[in-house]
């Protein structure tokens, strides 16, 4: 099964035939692997860990990596960018594409109409010729552009924004890579959670760490924590690492889809859990997170999250934990815990 943006690419396979091709921001399908039958070489970069895991790897010379950038400074004839769900990430992906293209190389951009791909020209940057539309089908568009200027390698420093926050233990700095949740300022839900954080000890999980703001607040309260920060998004993981470093803190930061890649039991789990899956809002991730985190919580451990108050968390939490406590609330958010505080 191919996603619609991938289907659109296969309708235009002549653009890729016998070329060295790189796919950036691949989706959870087998397009990359199937292209090995048509292309001289195929390399695929996943920025979403779930998409990375869906790839058949090491077959037919198909190379796939998870991360915010490709591990080597290789050049390709054609680079395909899947237009990102977070539109603000697009210029970064185009900068990556420019770096990995030969002079006069071709950039193809595929994505859903509703995802903002129509504004591609404004987002492309000066390294490319204006984009021309080459196909549209399945509610998707395919654009092409040519590399017309020499490109430099994108560095984290060029794509990060930093802001300072005052917390009870002192000021902290947060580093947000483009496209990561709550770019440039603290999310209001996270703010309510931070105002009501319990003091925690032992092995603690920050699920969906984003730029690491909860992680930094937890470490500030107790520098002895064995903190683990997980996220599905490579740009979020990089942001979290940068934020920890900027505040002189250390934690284990790694990719996980839900809690699947975490191991063992935690003394506490804290989160502002995701409520978006791509472009649509969903409570599935959160419902699964509640059930999975119960299984990975030490007996008597602390569990606390913040969520939009209109999301139906209460029943799920009560069902899984046997009780639900609203620790704090305002007109938009509620902080839920498994115990009375």
Ligand X SMILES: C[S@@+](CC[C@H](N)C(=O)[O-])C[C@H]1O[C@@H](n2cnc3c(N)ncnc32)[C@H](O)[C@@H]1O
Task: List residues near ligand X by CB under 6 A.
Answer: 181-182, 187, 190, 208-211, 213-214, 230-233, 236, 256-258, 272, 274, 285
CA torsion angle for 69, 72, 78, 79 (degrees, to 10)?
A: 0
**DSSP H helix total and E strand total for the chain:** 10, 18
Computed on alpha carbons and rounded to an integer, the radius of gyration of the chain in Å comes to 21
Query: Per 3-state DSSP, what percentage of the chain is helix, strand, and coil (rounded to 5)?
Result: 30, 35, 40
Q: Which is nearer to ligand X, 9 or 305 (CB)?
A: 305
Contacts of 258 (CB under 8 A, 6+ apart): 285, 288, 289, 292
Q: Which is nearer to ligand X, 41 or 257 (CB)?
A: 257
Smallest distance from ligand X to CB 214, Å: 5
Q: Which is nearer to ligand X, 133 or 245 (CB)?
A: 245
Smallest distance from ligand X to CB 251, Å: 13
User: Can you state the angle between helices 313-321 and 284-295, rounded to 10 degrees?
Assistant: 20
Q: Which is nearer to ligand X, 78 or 240 (CB)?
A: 240
* Nearest alpha carbon to residue 131 among 159, 101, 94: 94
Smallest distance from ligand X to CB 120, Å: 23
Q: Which is nearer to ligand X, 82 or 143 (CB)?
A: 82
Smallest distance from ligand X to CB 258, Å: 5
Smallest distance from ligand X to CB 273, Å: 6
Q: Which is nearer to ligand X, 105 or 273 (CB)?
A: 273
CB 258 within 8 A of CB 285: yes
Smallest distance from ligand X to CB 257, Å: 5
| Rounded Cα distance, 82 and 283, in Å | 25
Distances (CA, A) of 151 to 42, 57, 126, 156: 21, 29, 10, 15
């Amino acid at each position: 099964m191919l996603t619609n943006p991938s289907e659109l690419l296969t309708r235009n396979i002549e653009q890729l035939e016998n070329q060295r091709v790189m796919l950036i921001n691949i989706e959870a399908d087998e397009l990359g692997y199937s292209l090995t039958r048509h292309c001289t070489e195929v390399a695929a970069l996943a920025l979403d860990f779930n998409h990375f895991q869906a790839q058949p790897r090491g077959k037919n010379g198909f190379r796939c990596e998870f991360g915010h950038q490709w591990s080597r400074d290789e050049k390709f004839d054609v680079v395909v960018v899947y237009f990102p769900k977070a539109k603000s990430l697009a210029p970064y992906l185009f900068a990556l594409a420019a770096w990995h293209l030969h002079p006069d190389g071709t950039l193809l951009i595929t994505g859903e109409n509703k995802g903002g791909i129509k504004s591609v020209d404004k987002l492309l940057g000066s390294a490319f010729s204006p984009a021309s539309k080459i196909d549209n089908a399945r509610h998707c568009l395919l654009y092409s552009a040519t590399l017309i200027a020499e490109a430099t390698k994108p560095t984290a420093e060029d794509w990060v924004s930093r802001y300072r926050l005052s917390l009870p233990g002192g000021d902290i700095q947060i580093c947000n890579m483009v496209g990561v949740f709550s770019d440039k300022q603290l999310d209001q839900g996270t703010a309510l959670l931070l105002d009501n954080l319990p003091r925690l000890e032992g092995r603690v999980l920050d699920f969906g760490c984003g730029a690491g703001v909860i992680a930094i607040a937890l470490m500030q309260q107790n520098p002895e924590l064995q903190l683990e920060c997980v996220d599905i998004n490579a740009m979020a993981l990089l942001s979290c690492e940068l934020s920890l470093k900027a505040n002189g803190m250390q934690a284990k930061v790694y990719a996980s889809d839900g809690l699947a890649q975490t191991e063992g039991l935690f003394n506490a789990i804290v989160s502002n859990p995701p409520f978006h899956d791509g472009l649509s809002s969903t409570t599935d991730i959160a419902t699964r997170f509640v059930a999975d985190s119960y299984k990975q919580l030490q007996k008597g451990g602390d569990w606390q999250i913040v969520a939009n108050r209109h999301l139906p968390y209460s029943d799920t939490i009560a069902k899984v934990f046997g009780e639900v406590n609203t620790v704090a609330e305002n007109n938009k958010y509620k902080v839920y815990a498994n115990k009375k505080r």
